[in-house]
DNA sequence: GGACAGATCGCCT
DNA sequence: GGCGATCTGTCCC
């Protein structure tokens, strides 16, 4: 699988791909249904804004397909995949559980909450999916998706351009015009996306 | 269904 | 010292 793509291309391309995680023998798989592009030093919302380069964001400067995991709000983690440009990457915001569902539910606690339709809430957010799939900075940051035995990607479902919706990125503050750009991508009719927004559009239309 | 408050700490200035 | 690419529970409609 070719991950050496420009950020926005990678963000769209990852939709439908399957994240596979081997947690000390337990294999867990989830299909990516929602992503956001953080396009590089010019992007005010990106951790590399203005060319910042620190130990934390080093993975953003590594080869395309490198995992960048960081801690947010002191308690949660977010999982990104670096893209071809220096200092750019794609945030994975939601996955549809495919395999090892019991393990995901167990990680998230309160199993009764995730039965039936409730399963949609087990990994429909950037930090929820990290908890569900055992993705931690300690174990996964800087892992190479092509060579790692802990985390890798598999070809899943082919997603056509017409099935992709776009919107502004979620949760940004002080991003100025960069907060307006449609750099969030998700599978339009998928139940496992984190949220719908009024400003959504079909991919390629407008903006 | 939406709005809001609070938790909690690594990282950078 | 202050902030943040979030999540959860609570309150209200």
- Decide: A26 and A100 in contact? Cβ < 8 Å: yes
Distance CA A89, CA A64 (A): 8
- Decide: A60 and A43 in contact? Cβ < 8 Å: no
Burial label, A174 (beta-carbon count in 10 A; 0-12, 13-18, 19+): exposed
What is the average pLDDT across A35-51? 96
pTM for this structure? 0.95
In the numeric block, which tokens belong to residue A156?
């899943």
From the alpha carbon of A45, which nucleotide's C1' atom is closest?
Answer: C5
Distance CA A202, CA A197 (A): 12
**Nucleotides of strand C lying closer than 7 angstroms to a protein CB:** 4-8
What is the average pLDDT across A59-64? 98
Distance in angstroms: CA A108, C1' C4: 23
Confidence of residue A207 (pLDDT cuts 50, 70, 90): very low
Predicted pLDDT at A202: 81
What is the average pLDDT across A74-91? 97
Q: Which of residues 112-171 of A touch strand C (CB under 7 A)?
A: 121, 125-128, 169-171
Confidence of residue A173 (pLDDT cuts 50, 70, 90): confident
Distance in angstroms: CA A75, C1' B9: 7
Rounded to the nearest angstrom, the gap between the alpha carbon of residue A23 and the centroid of all alpha carbons in its chain is 19
């Amino acid at each position: 699988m070719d991950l050496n793509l420009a950020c926005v291309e990678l963000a769209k391309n990852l939709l439908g791909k399957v994240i596979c995680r081997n947690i000390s023998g337990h294999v867990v798989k989830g299909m990516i249904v929602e992503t956001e592009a953080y396009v590089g030093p010019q992007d005010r919302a990106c951790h590399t804004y203005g060319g910042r380069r620190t130990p934390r964001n080093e993975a953003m400067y590594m080869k395309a397909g490198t995992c960048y995991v960081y801690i947010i709000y002191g308690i949660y983690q977010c999982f990104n995949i670096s893209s071809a440009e220096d200092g750019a990457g794609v945030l994975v915001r939601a996955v549809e559980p495919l395999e090892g569902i019991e393990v995901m539910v167990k990680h998230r606690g309160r199993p009764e909450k995730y039965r039936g339709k409730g399963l949609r809430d087990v990994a429909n957010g950037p930090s929820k999916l990290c908890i569900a799939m055992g993705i931690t900075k300690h174990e996964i940051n800087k892992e190479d998706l092509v060579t790692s035995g802990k985390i890798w990607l598999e070809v899943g479902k082919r997603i056509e351009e017409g099935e992709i919706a776009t919107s502004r990125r979620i949760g940004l503050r002080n991003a100025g015009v960069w907060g307006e750009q449609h750099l969030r991508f998700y599978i339009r009719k998928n139940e496992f996306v984190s949220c719908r927004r009024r400003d959504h559009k079909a991919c390629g239309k407008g903006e």
